[in-house]
Amino acid sequence: MIGDRMPNPLRQPPPLAVLRLRPDAVIPTRAHPWDAGMDLVAVEALTLEAGQRGVVSTGIAVAIPEGWAGLVVPRSGLARKHGITLTNSPGLIDAGYRGEVQVLVVNHGGEPHTIGEGERVGQLVLVPVWTGDPVEVEELPASDGRGDGGFGSSGR
């Protein structure tokens, strides 16, 4: 049964296998025990001009456990201080991917910015994945919530 394969967030999650592709790569860690994200660290410097996009290498590969996905999300400090965020936020790492974890960044700031070697550039968050199948229906069940209200329908 599909429900039996779904991860239970109240149970101990499976470990995350991490392979260093370079000896200077940093294994992802949390700054605090209950943080959702594990810091991803650049293994090479990258300078981005204002408006420029780039790819930051982390020098690691991961084996996301079955039933889970890895989301690469921005670091709020880089965004607030320098306008550096992710081009495809969040980036998605599927359980079957085994290549290098790379962080796709963009400089929304007004000045060039260098992401230094050893700098925390993003965060990796593991989340459970729904593995059910879509089923076409004639109509959707009623909702006590917002119904078909879209963007901005819940207030300002």
Going from the N-terminus, what domains does the chain have, and what CATH number goes with each? 37-128 (2.70.40.10)
> In whole angstroms, how far apart are CA 129 and each of 6, 8, 67, 133?
7, 11, 5, 12
* Phi, psi for 3 (deg, rounded to 5): -60, -30
Question: At residue 131, does pLDDT exceed 70?
Answer: yes
Give the pLDDT score at 1: 42
Give the pLDDT score at 143: 82
Q: Name the CA dihedral angle for 87, 93, 97, 103, rounded to a multiple of 10 degrees.
A: 40
Question: At residue 77, does pLDDT exceed 60?
Answer: yes
H/E segment holding residue 102: strand 100-107
* pTM of the entire predicted model: 0.84
